[in-house]
Structure 1
Amino acid sequence: MDILIAGVSARGLVESAIRSGLHHRIVAVDYFGDFDLGLLCTHRSIKNDLNLSYEAHHLITASSCLAWGALAYVANLENYPSVVEVMAGGKPILGNSPAVLSSVRDPAGFFGFLTRAAIPAPKIAFDPSRLNFDSDTLWLRKPLQSGGGHGIALHLPGDHLEDGFFLQEYLDGLPCGAVFAADGWDACLLGISEQLIGRTEFGADGFRYCGSILGSLGTGQTEWGDLVDRVRQVVRAITREFHLVGVNGIDFILKGKTVYPLEINPRYTASMELVEQAYGLNIFTIHLDACQGRLPDFDLLACPDAGCFGKAILFASQALIFHDPRWWFDQGARDLPYAGEQIMRGKPVCTVFSRGQSRSECLDRLTRAAVEIEWTCLHATTPGRQ
């Protein structure tokens, strides 16, 4: 089967597909068209081939000259079910259907279900004029078409709430994500990670997602087992309600011992390649199997503690020029620009990875890698090649 993988950045799922050893021809369309995506498969890029800024419908144009027989999508197409439907053009969709996307990504429907199911969740609102801003509740303004923390900000009394946004209660806790495979009725939990949000050492700010650290979140064995059980119950309930299939992610806040779901990402997510590294799984194979109703024989609690696995997205703190992507690829970095490509301040540069026995060790290695890459971009050199 010829499979098209489409979204803002296709590299992660494409790499998993190539590693799977399955006899599928993979092609891709995304915005960035990174150097290392070109090492993996035939692809087209909105930025490089169409010379356009990112809009989801441009993926339809980019895919029109490629031959393929089935569609798999990544972020942020979960927010554009009509684009998924048009792009598929009647061909099989390997993942959640446009109807499922519309349902699970609707905040009113999603949080309404959580309330009915007695699952703890932050409060939401669509009309700020009806809120009591004299209470201790802090509110976030959040886009209906959310992704990666873009557009999220504190909402203060008197602020105007634009169309396309809603309000969500701010919860002071640990931002986390979990990934799972679903067959429309049941779910298999594959991993839990801390999310790195707005970390200045990676050039991020505000509520912007800039990476993940996969591990036991610093809990003891009993606390880890309790957390895994709670998250399993939540993702199974959501799977059954919304009939999710394939691999999916859930963002949540861990406050004390309580899991507060924030949203479902009904597609491949950024932390899934850490699951592959830590547990020896292949996400692409799991995704295809789950779409056919077959869940993996995997128990997260049965996995030995292998330490922490991290990834961080480096955002440029100032304008810079990237150098020697092949060298960085061989060092393990991914999502790499082409040699000589200029990266503007605030734009993503590349992704770095680390492994450590603790969260702090893992985070420190990510930070050092990010500093090294930006320094070499600014000084027109590459370590070991001065």
Structure 2
Amino acid sequence: MESLPWQTPRYHRKNEKWRNMQNILAIGFDTRNIVCSASRAGYKVCSIDAFRDLDLQRCAYASAFLECRTSSELRQLDPRWIIAKMNTFGLDFDAIVPGSGMEMLDQGSFPCPVLASSPDAVKEASNKLHLAKKLEALGMPNPQCYSSEELDIVEYPVILKPSSGGGGIFNRVARNRQELLAAFEELARLDPGLAAEELVIQDFLEGIPSSVSLLSTKSQALTVAVNEQLIGTPWLSRLPFAYCGNVTPFRTEHAEEMEALAEELVLELGLLGSNGVDFLVTEKGPVVLEVNPRFQGSLDTIEIATGINLFEAHIGCFRGELPEKPEAKHFAARGVLYSDRELFIDRKLMDVILREKSTDIPSMGTVTEPDWPLTSLFACASTRDEAVRSLERGAERIKTFIVNRTKEERKNLNPAGEA
């Protein structure tokens, strides 16, 4: 596996009074990008997450498996279980940094600070119905939202999605009432813990998915990047709305407007540290879709494109400091490749993945379920199209190996001449 631009250099903390903060716990559904950024910044970091990817284990001082598969399971996680896991690592932790799914940790339950926005601020920002009301009050463009109790006034087409989180996997488009009711039933089967009142209905708009990544203190906000989002990219996933990665930077005439809207919004919501605002760039201009009050999937491409260490910058926000605005030096692209079948990760498949510029590398001997992320591919180039083409070629090499191996396995199971 070739080294990526940010895999070799290490970053050094300049503020003497914060050199004593050394031991960090990252916890969330997927923490690999947080853990590796923190490790590059010189921290001793432990992880609790649902994947325990090979590259996470290489960056972490120690790691533990988070046996949660749904957002409802994450919300019910007992802080005492987390503390017990922390005790097994043998470190005195200076701080906890939550990742996806753990944004609303009860900050008073732990013996060290939780470096995240307050649970109240996260709740307001994460819930799409609450956010819609906030955006209306601020006069910011956003799609019309409906609750599950407002089916009689819905104007189609619409998109049904979890009111908080989801990664696009559960998003469903409905063009009439019958399709909408069918979508409710399908999501109830996929995640029995996902109640109807935890779903939101939004007007379905056409446009380019994008995001603004920001850093914020109590009084200031700074955009660090405007990113294109890869959503439902057919050569990466067969799920039409799955998050498939990013390209940084996103060159658009609307960038300054998006930055201004995002900076105003995170300050209004009282968010701290690294946060993201998702947009859809339509023919009429940018529309605010949702807020991610945590580290985002674009962390990698931002660090590759600009050279900033986002973990160190996140820590700085909690002492009231923002870095200088970074500038993209080239285009960086991340493609999240999903498996279209159940896959056992053996040595041969691992070698194929490692030959690419890859991260989120599954551990040998594990099983990847259908429509779950298999690995992430990266590319860095002087143009956006060149970076994306490089991703596509890498994805095709891995998929071709999987298809050929599957054919070979079927042939061995059913030799010629046998019934």
Partners of 1:14 and 1:59 in 2: CA distance = 22
Shift of 1:326: 7.1
2:372 match: 347
Deviations 1:239-280 (A, max 9, x none): 221111100011110113621111110110001111110111
Residue 178 to residue 363, structure 1, CA distance change in 2 (3 Å): same
1:180 match: 214
1:46 match: 66
1:272 match: 299
1:64 match: 84
Shift of 1:132: 5.1
Residue 27 to residue 299, structure 1, CA distance change in 2 (3 Å): closer
Residue 89 to residue 251, structure 1, CA distance change in 2 (3 Å): same
Matched, 1:364 2:389: yes
RMSD: 2.4
Residue 98 to residue 90, structure 1, CA distance change in 2 (3 Å): farther
Residue 209 to residue 140, structure 1, CA distance change in 2 (3 Å): same
TM-score by length of 1: 0.85
2:53 match: 34
The match for 2:344 among 321, 324, 332 is 321
Partners of 1:59 and 1:7 in 2: CA distance = 13
Shift of 1:299: 5.2
Shift of 1:154: 1.5
Partners of 2:29 and 2:164 in 1: CA distance = 14
Deviations 1:34-55 (A, max 9, x none): 11111111000125xxxx6453
The match for 1:204 among 228, 238, 241 is 238
Shift of 1:19: 0.8
In structure 1, runs of 5+ residues without a counterpart are 382-386
Partners of 1:349 and 1:96 in 2: CA distance = 30
1:77 match: 102
Residue 250 to residue 53, structure 1, CA distance change in 2 (3 Å): closer
Partners of 1:108 and 1:378 in 2: CA distance = 42
Residue 88 to residue 206, structure 1, CA distance change in 2 (3 Å): farther
Q: Structure 1: which amino acid aligns with 2:269? A: F
Matched, 1:245 2:272: yes
**SS of alignment partner, residue 145 of structure 1:** coil
Deviations 1:84-120 (A, max 9, x none): 1179525311121212111212333322221122111
> Identity over aligned residues, as a percent?
23
Partners of 1:128 and 1:197 in 2: CA distance = 28
1:163 match: 197
Partners of 1:380 and 1:296 in 2: CA distance = 48
Aligned pairs for 1:220-259 within 5 A: 223=253, 227-256=254-283, 258-259=285-286
2:125 match: 104
Q: Structure 2: which amino acid aligns with 1:213? A: V
Shift of 1:18: 0.9
Q: Structure 1: which amino acid aligns with 2:314? A: H
Partners of 2:69 and 2:130 in 1: CA distance = 31
**SS of alignment partner, residue 197 of structure 2:** coil
Deviations 1:324-348 (A, max 9, x none): 4477457431111122333232121
Residue 216 to residue 120, structure 1, CA distance change in 2 (3 Å): same
Residue 258 to residue 182, structure 1, CA distance change in 2 (3 Å): same
Matched, 1:194 2:213: no
1:149 match: 168
Partners of 1:326 and 1:207 in 2: CA distance = 29
**Larger CA Rg, structure 1 vs 2:** 2
The match for 1:332 among 352, 357, 364 is 357
**SS of alignment partner, residue 122 of structure 1:** coil
Residue 231 to residue 53, structure 1, CA distance change in 2 (3 Å): closer
1:384 match: none
Partners of 1:59 and 1:174 in 2: CA distance = 39
The match for 2:332 among 280, 288, 309 is 309
Q: Structure 1: which amino acid aligns with 2:150? A: P
TM-score by length of 2: 0.79
Partners of 1:375 and 1:58 in 2: CA distance = 39
